[in-house]
Amino acid sequence: MTDQMQRIVLASRPEGSPTDENFRLETVDMPTPGEGEVLVKVLYLSLDPYMRGRMDDAKSYAAPVPVGGTMEGGAVGEVIASNSDSLKPGDTVFGMFGWASHAVQPAKLLRKLDPAQGPVTAALGVLGMPGFTGWFGLMEHGRPKKGETLVVAAATGPVGSMVGQIARLHGLRVVGIAGGPEKCAMAKEVYGFDDCLDHRAYETASDLRKALKSACPDGIDIYFENVGGKVLDAVLPMMNPHGRIPICGMIAWYDAGGLGAGAASESLTGPRIWRSILVNFLSVNGFIISNHFDRYPEFLKEVAPRVAKGEVAFVEDIAEGLENAPAAFFSMLKGGNKGKQIVKIA
């Protein structure tokens, strides 16, 4: 066994969009597992939008990554040394191993993967945190009803694609919003969306809203919010009375100026947003999925068989090499990935 490992640390806090200068690849000594701990060789790393928030030293629902600390991230790995009776070398596990080639973690914090449920990478996407986020937000806060209309942005990502597919299985009309004609085709052909709009084809929120009126002739009953920005401005005036808006993210606002030139000038103001919520009796629920993992077994029980049968499709975008994680991360934040963004480490 090698006595060294690699990791990517946060070298500095970004101002606006993150750059290469904000990361540093280091070679360090291999850690040794203590009592009840295991040493894991990381196989696949998950890249997710929430990681951008962890780079800022701002009040949030979780502590930021310290400067000089290993970038946070969920990953799948193989146990190569164990001081725990519950896991043995050769077991494949999911844990928060970070952007690293190896990690030591308490065995009690890890989840042993069942190969019968699909490829191990599924634990990072369709059967992992992103898929669970989409399922929980839709079922708990969206409360879908047959015949309703749902809109979800980032439609081909692991959250949006789960939302759309589960909604379709419950008899809803599903309209996606994605970046580019290729992704819109994927939303319809791979994930079964009824329609999908390319947000890049519309300069303003009002232009996008006109297209949505054609795609959603009966208005919008559920808007699954994961981007904010121009899409929110376009959707909110179209919400039907008693509509529901689950909120799990706002990627358009993660970087300063992320809305783009011109978008802010026509953006809905606070009073207009609150008035829309009031007069349409909307239910708006923000949620952080880490608060709800008691429901994860229920999610797996319902969704894993659908994935195995092909009723819920998934697409993975796999980059190669730990050193390429920052570039894949930058691309994902700008919509450059096609499906769940993963980095193959080992």
Per-residue pLDDT at 163: 98
CA dihedral 292, 60, 249, 331 (to 10 degrees): -120
Has residue 262 got a pLDDT over 90? no
Per-residue pLDDT at 101: 98
Same domain, 164 and 253: yes
Has residue 174 got a pLDDT over 60? yes
- Are the C-beta atoms of 4 and 26 separated by less than 8 Å? no
* Average pLDDT for 265-277: 73
List for the chain the helix, strand, coil content (%; round to 5).
Answer: 35, 25, 40
Q: Lowest-pLDDT range, 122-136, 258-272, 275-289?
A: 258-272
277-291 pLDDT, tens digit each:
899 999 999 999 999
Has residue 13 got a pLDDT over 60? yes
Which domain, by its residues, includes 173?
129-289
Number of domains comprising the chain: 2
Same domain, 153 and 219: yes
Residue 295 lies in a domain: no
Per-residue pLDDT at 193: 98
* Average pLDDT for 195-217: 95
Residue 80 lies in a domain: yes
* Average pLDDT for 104-121: 91
CATH of the domain at 31: 3.90.180.10
Give the mean pLDDT of the chain: 92
Comparing C-alpha atoms, which of 118, 31, 113 is closest to residue 316? 118
Same domain, 133 and 250: yes
> Measured at the alpha carbon of residue 196, what is the angle toward residues 132 and 170, in degrees to the nearest 5?
45
How many other β-carbons are positioned within 10 Å of the β-carbon of residue 44?
22
Comparing C-alpha atoms, which of 42, 105, 20, 65 is closest to residue 322? 42
Per-residue pLDDT at 306: 95
* Average pLDDT for 69-91: 97
Q: Which two tokens stand for residue 195?
A: 């329609």
The more confident residue out of 276 and 46 is 46
Alpha-carbon distance values, 151 to 145, 199, 201, 226, 230 (Å): 14, 13, 17, 11, 14
What are the residues whose beta carbons fall under 8 Å from the beta carbon of 116, sequence distance 6 or more? none
Residue 16 lies in a domain: yes
Amino acid type, 110: L
Same domain, 76 and 141: no
Q: Lowest-pLDDT range, 10-14, 56-60, 269-273, 322-326?
A: 269-273
Per-residue pLDDT at 269: 66
Same domain, 117 and 138: no
Comparing C-alpha atoms, which of 96, 124, 167 is closest to residue 337? 124
Has residue 96 got a pLDDT over 50? yes
Q: Determine what percent of the chain is predicted with pLDDT higher than 70.
A: 94
Same domain, 102 and 180: no
Q: Lowest-pLDDT range, 86-90, 213-217, 231-235?
A: 231-235
The whole-model pTM stands at: 0.88
Same domain, 116 and 136: no
